[in-house]
Amino acid sequence: MPELRKDPTSETWVIFSPERQRRPQFFTAHGEYTLTSANCPFCEGNEDMTPPEIHSLRIANTTHDKPGWKLRVIPNKYPALKVEGLLDKRADGFYDKMNGIGAHEVVIETTSHTRGIDEMEEDTVYEIFLAFKHRILDLKRDIRFRYIQVFKNHGIQAGATISHPHSQIVALPVIPARTTDRLEHAQSYFAKKERCLFCDIVQHEIRFQQRLLLENGEFIVFAPYAPRLPFELSLYPVHHYAVFEEMEDAALRKLAIIFRDAIGKINKALDHPPYNMILHNAPFSKDNRYSEHFHWHIELLPIISGTGGFEIGTQSFINPMLPEESIKILKNDK
């Protein structure tokens, strides 16, 4: 059984999942993937290599866990957290722990073993965001969960073990440290200004223009004022939405277009780097208490140089590139 333990010095929870030691490593020491479409568990025809699907987008008259799909959502075979059981929060001597209750799902984004987001049809990218929305709406009905973390690791250096395009959804019984932290700042900003911090950032960046990469009326993509990594990008809805899952399907279509364009810009300027996509959402709350303070958004982190224990140990970042410069490169103006 996985467990969560609280570090008393930072008051953050760490997930311990010994089962993930059994995960096969599908890449070599030199960073090359070893799976081909014949033995890839995410390829069409290999449905029996994965746990049964939770959700799928299928061609008419095809059966679940058989070929004929366009997108599949499956439980992670080596889950960080388990769905069955009670949290059982308890003391462990001097410390605090609870059972590792949660969900860990994989969104297999396409049948193609190698296609990048920017090579997919607009419709395929839209269906990925639609799958996130469906799964969040379903998972948030479980009162044991307090946060759903949607993310994508693309490339070995970004943490992916399988190259076949996929994203992950983790439902957590606790709120991640960075989310709590940023939520607190947003609440204190709102208390002072009676405005959403993120709305103010969006408006500032639209006026300032020099960190803006893309805009389409409903969404903007920009380099944040103080990015921790070179080429880090933020994608925000222009208007105020606290949570991703309240977006209309039509808006998700516009999101798909701008997201695909952003990945295209990154791939063109930086020659297809590994990257992480992180969806920052407001945590669940029955009384919608965060609806005015938080504003969902996506963080896009190309992995250009290594990050290691130093950043983890200090949470200090030394970025060799100002965001205005990285935007020039991404726009290909330089």
The H-or-E segment that residue 169 falls in is: strand 166-172
Q: What is the DSSP string of 44-96?
A: TT-GGGSPPPSEEEE-TT--TTSS-EEEEEEE-SS-SSBSSS----EEETTEE
Q: Identify the residue among 131, 156, 252, 256 touching a copy of itself (CB under 8 A).
A: 156
What number of chain residues touch a copy of itself (CB under 8 A)?
79
Closest separation between CB of residue 256 and a copy of itself, Å?
21
Q: Identify the residue among 38, 61, 320, 332 touching a copy of itself (CB under 8 A).
A: 320
Q: Identify the residue among 93, 141, 143, 332 touching a copy of itself (CB under 8 A).
A: 93
- Binding residues among 256-285 for a copy of itself as defined by CB under 8 A: 274-276, 278, 280
Site for a copy of itself contains 102 (CB under 8 A): no
Site for a copy of itself contains 56 (CB under 8 A): no
* Helices 249-270, 323-331: crossing angle, 10 deg rounding: 90
Helices (H), 119-239: 122-139, 177-193, 197-208
Based on CB atoms, which residue is closest to a copy of itself, 16 or 112? 16
How many residues does this entry show for the chain?
334
Site for a copy of itself contains 201 (CB under 8 A): yes
Calpha distance 273→3 (Å, rounded): 34
- Binding residues among 169-188 for a copy of itself as defined by CB under 8 A: 172, 176-179, 181-182, 185-186
Site for a copy of itself contains 1 (CB under 8 A): no
Site for a copy of itself contains 82 (CB under 8 A): no
Q: Are 175 and 284 in contact (CB under 8 A)?
A: no
3-class SS of residue 311:
helix
Site for a copy of itself contains 292 (CB under 8 A): no
Site for a copy of itself contains 123 (CB under 8 A): no
Site for a copy of itself contains 137 (CB under 8 A): no
Based on CB atoms, which residue is closest to a copy of itself, 142 or 325? 325
Q: Identify the residue among 85, 209, 239, 317 touching a copy of itself (CB under 8 A).
A: 317
Site for a copy of itself contains 217 (CB under 8 A): no
Q: Identify the residue among 83, 251, 257, 321 touching a copy of itself (CB under 8 A).
A: 321
Residue in this structure with the two tokens 């295209």, named with its chain if needed: 264
Based on CB atoms, which residue is closest to a copy of itself, 130 or 177? 177
Based on CB atoms, which residue is closest to a copy of itself, 229 or 263? 229
Give Cβ neighbours of residue 248 (< 8 Å, ≥ 6 apart): none
Calpha distance 223→36 (Å, rounded): 36
Give Cβ neighbours of residue 308 (< 8 Å, ≥ 6 apart): none
Q: Identify the residue among 92, 121, 122, 249 touching a copy of itself (CB under 8 A).
A: 92
Q: What is the DSSP string of 201-222?
A: HHHHHHHH-TTEEEE-SSEEEE
Q: Identify the residue among 5, 70, 144, 146 touching a copy of itself (CB under 8 A).
A: 5
Based on CB atoms, which residue is closest to a copy of itself, 67 or 75? 75
Calpha distance 109→115 (Å, rounded): 10
Closest separation between CB of residue 90 and a copy of itself, Å?
14
CA neighbor of 140 nearest in space, from 267, 16, 283, 20: 283
CA neighbor of 115 nearest in space, from 107, 124, 106: 124
Q: Identify the residue among 41, 165, 173, 227 touching a copy of itself (CB under 8 A).
A: 227
Catalytic machinery residues = 166
Based on CB atoms, which residue is closest to a copy of itself, 43 or 303? 303
Site for a copy of itself contains 208 (CB under 8 A): yes
